Protein backbone atom coordinates (compact mmCIF):
# COMPACT_ATOMS: atom_id res chain seq x y z
CA UNK A 1 0.00 0.00 0.00
CA UNK A 2 1.43 3.35 -1.02
CA UNK A 3 1.34 6.44 1.14
CA UNK A 4 -1.00 9.26 0.06
CA UNK A 5 0.67 12.09 -1.83
CA UNK A 6 1.70 14.97 0.41
CA UNK A 7 0.01 17.75 -1.52
CA UNK A 8 -2.31 20.69 -0.81
CA UNK A 9 -5.35 18.40 -0.66
CA UNK A 10 -3.69 16.05 1.81
CA UNK A 11 -2.73 18.87 4.17
CA UNK A 12 -6.11 20.60 3.84
CA UNK A 13 -7.71 17.34 4.95
CA UNK A 14 -5.55 17.62 8.08
CA UNK A 15 -6.88 21.15 8.64
CA UNK A 16 -10.44 19.89 8.10
CA UNK A 17 -9.91 17.28 10.82
CA UNK A 18 -8.97 20.14 13.16
CA UNK A 19 -12.08 22.08 12.10
CA UNK A 20 -14.24 19.07 12.93
CA UNK A 21 -12.61 18.82 16.34
CA UNK A 22 -13.45 22.48 16.90
CA UNK A 23 -17.10 21.88 15.97
CA UNK A 24 -17.29 18.89 18.32
CA UNK A 25 -16.11 21.21 21.12
CA UNK A 26 -18.72 23.87 20.30
CA UNK A 27 -16.17 26.14 18.60
CA UNK A 28 -16.57 27.73 15.19
CA UNK A 29 -15.11 25.04 12.93
CA UNK A 30 -11.88 26.52 11.65
CA UNK A 31 -8.83 24.30 11.56
CA UNK A 32 -5.23 24.99 10.63
CA UNK A 33 -1.99 23.12 10.13
CA UNK A 34 1.47 24.47 9.40
CA UNK A 35 3.76 22.42 7.22
CA UNK A 36 7.52 22.68 6.86
CA UNK A 37 9.50 20.32 4.60
CA UNK A 38 6.37 18.21 3.96
CA UNK A 39 5.84 17.66 7.70
CA UNK A 40 3.05 19.00 9.87
CA UNK A 41 4.85 20.96 12.60
CA UNK A 42 1.75 22.55 14.16
CA UNK A 43 -1.97 21.95 14.21
CA UNK A 44 -4.71 23.94 15.86
CA UNK A 45 -8.40 24.78 15.81
CA UNK A 46 -10.44 27.66 17.13
CA UNK A 47 -10.51 27.78 20.93
CA UNK A 48 -12.13 31.14 21.58
CA UNK A 49 -14.89 29.62 23.74
CA UNK A 50 -12.64 27.26 25.70
CA UNK A 51 -10.04 29.93 26.44
CA UNK A 52 -12.54 32.81 26.66
CA UNK A 53 -10.20 34.66 24.31
CA UNK A 54 -11.32 36.41 21.12
CA UNK A 55 -7.80 36.06 19.69
CA UNK A 56 -7.65 32.24 20.05
CA UNK A 57 -8.22 31.63 16.33
CA UNK A 58 -6.82 28.49 14.71
CA UNK A 59 -4.27 30.45 12.68
CA UNK A 60 -2.89 32.36 15.68
CA UNK A 61 -2.61 29.19 17.76
CA UNK A 62 -0.92 27.35 14.88
CA UNK A 63 1.59 30.16 14.30
CA UNK A 64 2.44 30.18 18.02
CA UNK A 65 2.87 26.39 18.06
CA UNK A 66 4.99 26.37 14.87
CA UNK A 67 7.24 29.11 16.24
CA UNK A 68 7.73 27.04 19.38
CA UNK A 69 8.49 23.90 17.39
CA UNK A 70 11.07 25.65 15.22
CA UNK A 71 12.37 27.96 17.92
CA UNK A 72 11.99 30.88 15.52
CA UNK A 73 9.60 33.79 15.14
CA UNK A 74 9.78 33.74 11.33
CA UNK A 75 8.20 30.84 9.46
CA UNK A 76 9.65 31.70 6.06
CA UNK A 77 9.88 28.10 4.82
CA UNK A 78 6.42 27.11 6.01
CA UNK A 79 2.92 26.79 4.57
CA UNK A 80 -0.28 27.44 6.51
CA UNK A 81 -3.32 25.39 5.55
CA UNK A 82 -6.55 26.78 6.97
CA UNK A 83 -10.13 25.82 6.23
CA UNK A 84 -11.47 29.38 6.01
CA UNK A 85 -9.93 32.59 4.69
CA UNK A 86 -8.07 34.26 7.55
CA UNK A 87 -9.54 37.35 9.18
CA UNK A 88 -7.64 40.63 9.34
CA UNK A 89 -6.20 39.82 12.78
CA UNK A 90 -4.92 36.44 11.64
CA UNK A 91 -3.58 37.87 8.39
CA UNK A 92 -1.56 40.33 10.44
CA UNK A 93 -0.06 37.52 12.52
CA UNK A 94 0.64 35.49 9.38
CA UNK A 95 2.32 38.52 7.85
CA UNK A 96 4.51 39.16 10.90
CA UNK A 97 5.49 35.46 10.97
CA UNK A 98 6.41 35.73 7.26
CA UNK A 99 4.88 32.43 6.20
CA UNK A 100 5.88 31.66 2.63
CA UNK A 101 2.49 30.27 1.57
CA UNK A 102 -1.10 30.37 2.77
CA UNK A 103 -3.61 27.86 1.44
CA UNK A 104 -7.24 28.22 2.44
CA UNK A 105 -10.43 26.41 1.58
CA UNK A 106 -13.53 28.59 1.79
CA UNK A 107 -13.52 32.35 1.34
CA UNK A 108 -15.07 34.61 3.96
CA UNK A 109 -16.95 37.48 2.34
CA UNK A 110 -17.92 39.03 5.70
CA UNK A 111 -14.63 38.93 7.62
CA UNK A 112 -11.89 37.73 5.27
CA UNK A 113 -8.63 39.67 4.98
CA UNK A 114 -8.81 39.96 1.19
CA UNK A 115 -11.74 42.35 1.49
CA UNK A 116 -10.46 44.54 4.31
CA UNK A 117 -6.67 44.19 4.34
CA UNK A 118 -5.41 42.58 1.14
CA UNK A 119 -1.87 43.83 1.82
CA UNK A 120 -1.67 42.37 5.36
CA UNK A 121 0.44 39.35 4.43
CA UNK A 122 4.17 39.53 3.79
CA UNK A 123 4.81 40.68 0.19
CA UNK A 124 6.49 37.35 -0.68
CA UNK A 125 3.66 35.20 0.67
CA UNK A 126 1.93 33.10 -1.98
CA UNK A 127 -1.83 32.66 -1.48
CA UNK A 128 -3.84 29.77 -2.87
CA UNK A 129 -7.59 29.63 -2.26
CA UNK A 130 -10.34 27.13 -2.96
CA UNK A 131 -8.59 23.90 -1.90
CA UNK A 132 -11.41 21.55 -0.78
CA UNK A 133 -13.59 24.66 -0.81
CA UNK A 134 -16.93 22.80 -0.79
CA UNK A 135 -15.95 20.60 2.17
CA UNK A 136 -14.59 23.56 4.14
CA UNK A 137 -17.68 25.68 3.46
CA UNK A 138 -19.96 22.78 4.39
CA UNK A 139 -18.34 22.48 7.83
CA UNK A 140 -19.16 26.13 8.53
CA UNK A 141 -22.69 25.89 7.11
CA UNK A 142 -23.43 22.71 9.07
CA UNK A 143 -22.19 24.29 12.31
CA UNK A 144 -24.40 27.37 11.97
CA UNK A 145 -27.42 25.36 10.70
CA UNK A 146 -27.30 23.25 13.86
CA UNK A 147 -27.26 26.36 16.06
CA UNK A 148 -30.31 28.03 14.54
Q: pLDDT tier at 1 (50, 70, 90 boundaries)?
A: low
pTM to 2 decimal places: 0.95
Residue 2 pLDDT more than 80?
no
pLDDT above 70 as % of the chain: 97
What gap in Å lies between CA 139 and CA 142, rounded to an integer? 5
Q: What is the pLDDT of residue 146?
A: 87
Residue 50 pLDDT more than 90?
yes
18, 59, 85, 139: the catalytic one is 59
Q: Find the range with the poorest average confidence among 15-19, 68-72, 142-146.
A: 142-146
Question: Is 77 an annotated catalytic residue?
Answer: no
Q: pLDDT tier at 5 (50, 70, 90 boundaries)?
A: confident
The string of pLDDT tens digits covering residues 105-123 is 999 999 999 999 999 999 9
* Mean pLDDT, residues 74-86 taken together: 97
What's the chain's average pLDDT? 95
Q: pLDDT tier at 62 (50, 70, 90 boundaries)?
A: very high
Amino acid sequence: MTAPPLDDTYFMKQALAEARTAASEGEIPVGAVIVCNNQVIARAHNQTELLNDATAHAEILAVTAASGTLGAKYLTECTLYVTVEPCVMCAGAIGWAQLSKVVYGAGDEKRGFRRYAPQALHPKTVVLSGVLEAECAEEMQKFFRERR
